[in-house]
Amino acid sequence: MKVLITGIDGYSGWPLALHLLRRGHEVVGIDNFVTRKRVKEVGSWSATPIGSFAKRQEAVDRLLGKKITFYKGDMTKFPFVVDVLRREKPDTIVHLAEQRSAPYSMIDVDHAVRTQVENITGTLHLLYAIREATPESHLVKMGTMGEYGTPNVDIPEGFFEIDYNGKHDRLPFPRQAGSWYHWSKVFDSGDVMFATKIWNLKSTDVMQGIIYGTRTPEITDDALLTRFDFDETWGTALNRFAVEAVLGLPITPYGKGGQVRGFIALEDSMQSLRLAVENPAKSGEYRVFNQFDAAYTINDLAELTHRVARDLGLNPRIEHPPDPRVEAEQHYYNPIHENLPALGYKRSRNLEEVLREIFKDLIRFRRRLEKRRHVVMPTVDWRQGDNTASLGARHSGGPAAPTPPTASEDPSRTPA
């Protein structure tokens, strides 16, 4: 199959490209490199050194003997999107090109608007481009488990059958997102569902759990590494905890730490996306996959990180700063995930073994972390309308802000 990956330069996009290439698929990519830019904007960088996209392409050529066709451009420009589709006629489009950080969306009014506007504009452009150029393409769109929030009932895969006041229906499951970013993904889901209905498209909406890991089997060389973010804005809780342990900082689960979320290893997320790609939705079908492997509390992650760190001779302690988010710190959580297992999904990695692998990489790249140790702790508070002042304060303790750090992410210019 020919697969177009929008956001191919990102944390998931890059290993997905490698995985699909190894499976014999043809890969075309789009990116505007905005994540690289915005990670710099908050004074951080990837823990793993990543080369320019041209270097990534060269590495794929040299190490895997494969080519990736790449278009630099922005999903908010409709002519660009429709031109790529017309030229490439992909069988499948995996849409990952979105602003993906909840804290970024909560910085202030401009970041809130930018997040929602960019994400829905890109998705609408892609839907119209598919309608116009490749109506037979299968769209695999990246959503998030965070769209559902934490209801006190089981979370089905997108739709549920209910009885209400004596009548029966199958309805979309209610969404209760927890940040402007998560709401933007809810909005995208609505738009994809609607477009699929009116234009008879084929779509898979992936409610993605939180991904962990630095590695997939295809990452056989440092030149093939994917990015790994650990700052408060772009990194996940587990990433932050592991980096905190390596840097000798306290491990910091927010609030009580009873928040439960669905998680999945990077390798298993790639397996899942590949299963979606290789088993397309039917015409007019809008299907939803809850794409996670197991649920953990934030305290589970903190304690596991603590234990693995001690095994490695590190000696972190656990501290609970106040939760900057507005979320339940203790709650019921039981999402259903049957659609991917029905297509053959099998867990290949478990959390502890992946965490040990993450530590191995982080210790190798410890000097890169040391240089950015000030970006790990939260400064963006959900209850504040404007967090720019506290961000500024953090910057002033760190390197060269508001001017972005001058060191490039190109490994040829940075010590690894």
For the annotated catalytic residues, the residue numbers are 144, 181, 185
* 380 binds a copy of itself, rule: CB under 8 A: no
Q: What is the DSSP string of 264-297?
A: EEHHHHHHHHHHHHHSPPPTT-EEEEEE-SEEEE
Nearest-angstrom CA–CA distance, 329 and 260 = 8
CB 268 within 8 A of CB 347: yes
> How many CB atoms are located within 10 Å of the residue 170 CB?
9
> Of residues 24, 65, 164, 282, which one binds a copy of itself by CB under 8 A?
164
> Of residues 54, 171, 389, 400, which one binds a copy of itself by CB under 8 A?
171
> How many CB atoms are located within 10 Å of the residue 66 CB?
18
Positions 210 through 269 that interact with a copy of itself (CB under 8 A):
none
Q: Choose the stretch contacting a copy of itself; rule: CB under 8 A; options: 26-34, 183-191, 351-359, 367-375.
A: 183-191
* 346 binds a copy of itself, rule: CB under 8 A: no
In order of 67, 71, 83, 339, the CA distances from 80 in angstroms are: 21, 9, 5, 34
**Residue 342: HSE in the Cβ half-sphere, 13 Å Cα cutoff:** 9
Token pair 């002042």: residue: 389
In order of 62, 149, 160, 222, 356, the CA distances from 183 in angstroms are: 41, 10, 20, 36, 33
* 186 binds a copy of itself, rule: CB under 8 A: yes
* 344 binds a copy of itself, rule: CB under 8 A: no
Of the pair 136, 169, the CB lying nearest a copy of itself is at: 169
> Of residues 65, 152, 282, 322, which one binds a copy of itself by CB under 8 A?
152
Nearest-approach distance from CB 187 to a copy of itself, in angstroms: 5
* 154 binds a copy of itself, rule: CB under 8 A: yes
Nearest-approach distance from CB 364 to a copy of itself, in angstroms: 39
Structure tokens at 401: 């802000």
Nearest-approach distance from CB 336 to a copy of itself, in angstroms: 9
CB 4 within 8 A of CB 28: yes
Of the pair 10, 158, the CB lying nearest a copy of itself is at: 158
Nearest-approach distance from CB 72 to a copy of itself, in angstroms: 22
Pattern 279-298, binding to a copy of itself, x per CB under 8 A? --------------------
* 338 binds a copy of itself, rule: CB under 8 A: no
Q: Choose the stretch contacting a copy of itself; rule: CB under 8 A; options: 29-37, 191-199, 340-348, 365-373.
A: 191-199
Q: Choose the stretch contacting a copy of itself; rule: CB under 8 A; options: 22-30, 148-156, 231-239, 299-307.
A: 148-156
Closest CA to 5 of 273, 344, 272: 273
Of the pair 59, 124, the CB lying nearest a copy of itself is at: 124
Nearest-approach distance from CB 125 to a copy of itself, in angstroms: 7
* 389 binds a copy of itself, rule: CB under 8 A: no
Q: Choose the stretch contacting a copy of itself; rule: CB under 8 A; options: 147-155, 236-244, 310-318, 350-358.
A: 147-155
**Going by C-beta distance under 8 Å and a sequence separation of 6 or more, which residues neighbour residue 146?**
102, 177, 178, 179, 182, 185, 261
> How many CB atoms are located within 10 Å of the residue 1 CB?
15
* 385 binds a copy of itself, rule: CB under 8 A: yes
Nearest-approach distance from CB 205 to a copy of itself, in angstroms: 15
**Going by C-beta distance under 8 Å and a sequence separation of 6 or more, which residues neighbour residue 314?**
245, 246, 248
Q: Choose the stretch contacting a copy of itself; rule: CB under 8 A; options: 195-203, 229-237, 294-302, 390-398.
A: 195-203
* 191 binds a copy of itself, rule: CB under 8 A: yes
> How many CB atoms are located within 10 Å of the residue 128 CB?
15
* 356 binds a copy of itself, rule: CB under 8 A: no
Report how far Cα 242 is from the mean position of its chain's Cα atoms: 18
Positions 114 through 133 that interact with a copy of itself (CB under 8 A):
116-117, 120-121, 124-125, 128, 131-132
Nearest-angstrom CA–CA distance, 308 and 322 = 25
**Percent helix / strand / coil, the chain, rounded to 5:** 40, 15, 45
Structure tokens at 101: 């950080």
The residue ranges that bind a copy of itself (CB under 8 A) are 78, 108-110, 112-113, 116-117, 120-121, 124-125, 128, 131-132, 151-154, 160, 162-165, 167-169, 171-178, 180, 183, 186-187, 190-191, 194, 197-199, 326, 332, 382-383, 385-386
